[in-house]
Structure 1
């Protein structure tokens, strides 16, 4: 249930709930074996199993970054990224679904008082969403008629609501981009389109909406988007209300590729104790100095990547606690830092798969899933290293405009 505060600004005094943050990470660790045992079934049906979803329900791993006023757990960005990494060690697809729904549901906690009260009235819902390509919203009395098709809707089969990017098309043909609308699951259909090599178990199918009515209260306008605070807003003041929208979503999703490669490292280290180094004199890989060097180097790269990612989320946490927004330069560096971590993880994954050998590409081998899933996540537009480097380089050089709009990083 939604809990209003008589003095919303007092929420900031609570800070992030470190105890809850530790609990969700420990809960994720406890689910790793279950997730791993369900991963193949999830890949075959192309979305998480009911058993996995119930386990995440029971562990309360949805809406963990949502503020407590809405029934969430109020954890930090750093706790969220750590939770995602642990889930990904069990199954990266489940980690991704968790991060997408957690991120989208948190974004909704920044919406208007009226929308918060509607969507969180019965507890924290599962909300999935896609902003691109945008659908169309035609103004009508009391709201809009919305139509569109949104691919890559991760977790949508388990969501109660969808958050969809739309451009408003006015009667004179003028288009206003950058808006979001909320549509209940009963008003859209899911098109079976998710046939991919990596992240097979995320259920990232296409959502189709055909002329659905969306009342005005469920539209978030670009001119007054999520980080806009209406004068007199009641449901506001928790630390998470001060996160920059896209920075939070993109940094915390880094936990999944991180966890995938940490899981790959654990698997390779375990098998090296018994797996022969075929074609050599070594009965065990662990007897080879070359293998030891490669594993040690990969492990250091993974450790470096975790350090970079967590430093980026800690910077977001610190700014939120100070009730300030990051400067453009800080956001650019923060993005490049996380993107650089993806490059380092890519290098580590290549090394580890050479150690694991050709048998690691058998679909029954856990290494195959970690490798496939990481390589897909690493190519999400928010993770691509060269874009992060260009954004930061342009910021340092004072070159405008940036490669992407500043609000996107």
Structure 2
């Protein structure tokens, strides 16, 4: 599948990491059923991914990471997803969280975390289901906290958790992010799903835990209010700091969704020449006109999705370089591009699945796993098409946004 020139924009180091991901694809495919049956990634695969450097994509260079571009992260995750959706989901979540942690935490805190000998991997949940939290002297006391969908929790060393639930988010329009070692968190083994079974997206619970103030970050609108001139002076990794929320949108889900769609089409094109169509005279699906049409249309949907993803990255990069505020439409367009790309990818997988015959529903058929995994990925809050398209429609109508990320980005938007 062509990458529409995106790889040409990667550095030599990023291209090598992309090749490392490509080399893992056959291995990931071999482990597909075991990953689903175990409901987490086997440790031997975790070690292979680690040895390939793929858990350090979002880790700053000063801490031994690769600090790749957002474009490179999406391309590498997409490549892993050609092999297995759960693996790609976990790797993208950990890297996105490592990157996000490096943006929001102070240097002393980061030094204390990343100086540890073990490889640091963050899982995260950006809104609590339940949160009873008290501000106390020197920090925060969590009487009770429950967080859902902690993807990669079984493979993480730390969690980045929002100490606010939905009510708290509505009242503050910002997050209270806490860094917590996994040793202080109870993983509730409740991830029994039809999709992304191996992502270990279990619920997380804490009771009567004290977190020092230095390990908690208050993300409020005030942090970047009136920051137009400030944006132009930021350098290095700091220039990403004001855009942490929109970067979360780009690094949560879409890379894996794109790769799953690519993998589905690749599998169908490879097997169709050797498959007939039951109760017809056709001995090869590849020779049938309407299937040729569907394959062409599915390929264009996937390539169009990639173009929308690239546009969203370029939109962000251009504003980061110039330091100019977004228009409300430009900012909403990034979120909508991601959600629409997810919809195009799921449409493409639906099409090839529909032409694959009854055998496609077997658990042993790779398309069955891809079909289930992409549906779960596309249902994530940051890639749900209906939410993104509603946002864009509201902006075009001149109505206020309904999406929390756009609402909280007000300081980055021009009137």
Structure 2 Cα separation of the partners of residues 158 and 192 of structure 1 = 13
| 2:139 paired with 1:143 | yes
Structure 2 gap ranges (5+): 1-8, 166-170, 410-415
The one-character-per-residue Cα deviations of 1:201-257 (angstroms, maximum 9, x if unpaired) are: 0001111111111111101113389879xx9xxx97326634611221222331101
Quickly say closer, same or farther: Cα 1:373–1:266, change in 2 above 3 A: same
Q: TM-score, normalised by structure 1?
A: 0.87
When structure 1 is superposed on structure 2, of 182-191 and 342-351 the one drifting more is 342-351
Q: Shift of the alpha carbon at 1:118?
A: 2.0
**Number of the residue aligned with 2:261:** 261
Q: TM-score, normalised by structure 2?
A: 0.86
Structure 2 residue corresponding to 1:121, chosen from 115, 124, 142:
115
**Number of the residue aligned with 1:368:** 368
**Number of the residue aligned with 1:249:** 248
Say whether the 8 Å CA contact 1:66–1:240 is kept in structure 2.
no
Structure 2 Cα separation of the partners of residues 75 and 320 of structure 1 = 16
Structure 2 Cα separation of the partners of residues 301 and 75 of structure 1 = 27
Structure 2 Cα separation of the partners of residues 247 and 282 of structure 1 = 49
Counterparts of residues 371-382 of structure 1 (less than 5 Å): 371-382=371-382
Quickly say closer, same or farther: Cα 1:389–1:181, change in 2 above 3 A: same
**Number of the residue aligned with 2:84:** 91
Structure 2 Cα separation of the partners of residues 385 and 175 of structure 1 = 26
**Number of the residue aligned with 1:11:** none
**Number of the residue aligned with 1:131:** 126
Structure 1 Cα separation of the partners of residues 376 and 196 of structure 2 = 7
**Number of the residue aligned with 1:393:** 393
Structure 1 gap ranges (5+): 1-15, 169-173
The one-character-per-residue Cα deviations of 1:30-65 (angstroms, maximum 9, x if unpaired) are: 110111111211111111111111011101111313
SS of 1:400's partner is: coil
Quickly say closer, same or farther: Cα 1:155–1:236, change in 2 above 3 A: farther
Say whether the 8 Å CA contact 1:144–1:216 is kept in structure 2.
yes
Q: Shift of the alpha carbon at 1:316?
A: 2.3
The one-character-per-residue Cα deviations of 1:106-163 (angstroms, maximum 9, x if unpaired) are: 0011122232222222376101110222523212232121231111100011111111
Q: Shift of the alpha carbon at 1:323?
A: 4.6
**Number of the residue aligned with 1:194:** 191
Say whether the 8 Å CA contact 2:191–2:200 is kept in structure 1.
yes
Structure 2 Cα separation of the partners of residues 116 and 336 of structure 1 = 33
**Number of the residue aligned with 1:171:** none
The one-character-per-residue Cα deviations of 1:354-405 (angstroms, maximum 9, x if unpaired) are: 1111211100000001100001111111111121122122222321253444
SS of 2:179's partner is: strand
**Number of the residue aligned with 2:4:** none
**Number of the residue aligned with 1:358:** 358
Structure 2 Cα separation of the partners of residues 240 and 152 of structure 1 = 29
Report runs of 4+ in structure 1 exceeding 6 Å deviation: 174-177, 224-228
Aligned-residue Cα RMSD (Å) equals 2.6
Structure 1 Cα separation of the partners of residues 224 and 277 of structure 2 = 55
Quickly say closer, same or farther: Cα 1:324–1:154, change in 2 above 3 A: farther
Structure 1 residue corresponding to 2:160, chosen from 158, 163, 177:
163
The structure with the largest helix share of the pair is 2
Counterparts of residues 179-218 of structure 1 (less than 5 Å): 179-218=176-215
Aligned length: 385
**Number of the residue aligned with 2:3:** none
